[in-house]
Amino acid sequence: MAATLQDHDDVVEEAATVSFEDMLQQGWLAPLIAAWLPAEDALRFATASHLCRVVSLESPVGEWHLERERSWRNDSSRYSAHEWQPLAIDRQHTVHSVVLKCRWHDQGWGNRKGMLSVVAPGGAAPNDYAAWSPHVLCGQEPAPHNEEPLTLRFRPPANAREPNATYMICARAGGGGGHSLTVKALRVRILRYV
């Protein structure tokens, strides 16, 4: 039986009546859109409609266990990064992003070598002027001379074998003498799928 032109028109008309809301109600579209978006945009998307509420920002991580401020002053021979503190991420529920915010600055003069980064288990942060390995999930360098806000964000690797992973927050002041790095008001928050 051959389809008639009228059958074709009926199918087109029916397809044209499917709305964006109809697609969201199916449950697969909102998580897909959120996955493509950076953390801040995924949060904005979640406020658009109850059908888009697929992510939730948790309270700050480890408020009682996370060191919020620290300063490093290196001697002239230390070019490597300091392992500052572990960051344990419970992956029982799917994590969209991890967001770190702080204020930071270096010694205020001279060469700028300061760096802050998050490194995956088994990895290391780079030394001065060294290439970043794939284990560095996020980071920023060089630190500014004057105190400024810093936001770092990363998505835990999807292929991680363990449900819980401990990442390392690393800081580098820089070698050569006189270099320092100061981090203040560190906060870590996790954006999870709900």
Per-residue pLDDT tens, the chain, 194 aa: give them: 556 666 666 655 665 688 889 999 999 999 999 999 999 999 999 999 999 999 999 888 776 678 899 999 988 888 889 999 999 887 667 899 999 999 999 999 988 999 999 999 989 998 888 889 999 999 999 999 999 999 999 998 776 556 678 899 999 998 888 899 999 999 999 999 99
For residue 99, give the nearest of 47, 52, 43 by alpha carbon: 43
Whether residues 121 and 82 share a domain: the answer is yes
pLDDT attached to residue 18: 85
Q: What is the pLDDT of residue 176?
A: 83
Give the residue numbers spanning the domain of 100. Answer: 70-193
Identify whether residues 184 and 121 lie together within a single domain.
yes
Q: Cα angle at 134 between 190 and 183, to 5 degrees?
A: 50
Confidence (pLDDT) at 64: 60
- Kindly state whether residue 176 falls inside one of the protein's structural domains: yes
Please check whether residues 173 and 85 belong to one and the same domain: yes
Residues 133, 186, single domain; the answer is: yes
Domain membership of residue 65 (yes or no) is: no
- The DSSP symbol for 76 reads T
**What span, in angstroms and rounded, lies between the C-alpha atoms of 138 and 38?**
14
Closest CA to 114 of 93, 140, 146, 85: 140
Q: Are residues 41 and 19 in the same domain?
A: yes
Q: What pLDDT score does 74 carry?
A: 84
Considering the domain architecture, whether residues 78 and 165 belong to the same structural domain is answered as yes
Asked if 142 contacts 149 with a C-beta cutoff of 8 angstroms, the reply is: no
Asked whether residue 186 is domain-assigned, the answer is yes
Structurally, the chain folds into a number of domains equal to 2
Q: Do residues 32 and 74 share a domain?
A: no
Q: Where are the beta strands (DSSP E) in the chain?
A: 55-57, 70-73, 82-90, 95-106, 115-119, 136-140, 148-154, 164-172, 180-193
Same domain, 74 and 34: no
The encoded tokens of residue 81 equal 């990064």
Q: What pTM, to 2 d.p., does this model score?
A: 0.82
Give yes or no for a contact between 95 and 77, defined as CB atoms under 8 angstroms apart: no
- The CATH number linked to 91 is 2.60.120
The pLDDT value recorded for residue 63 is: 64
Same domain, 43 and 90: no
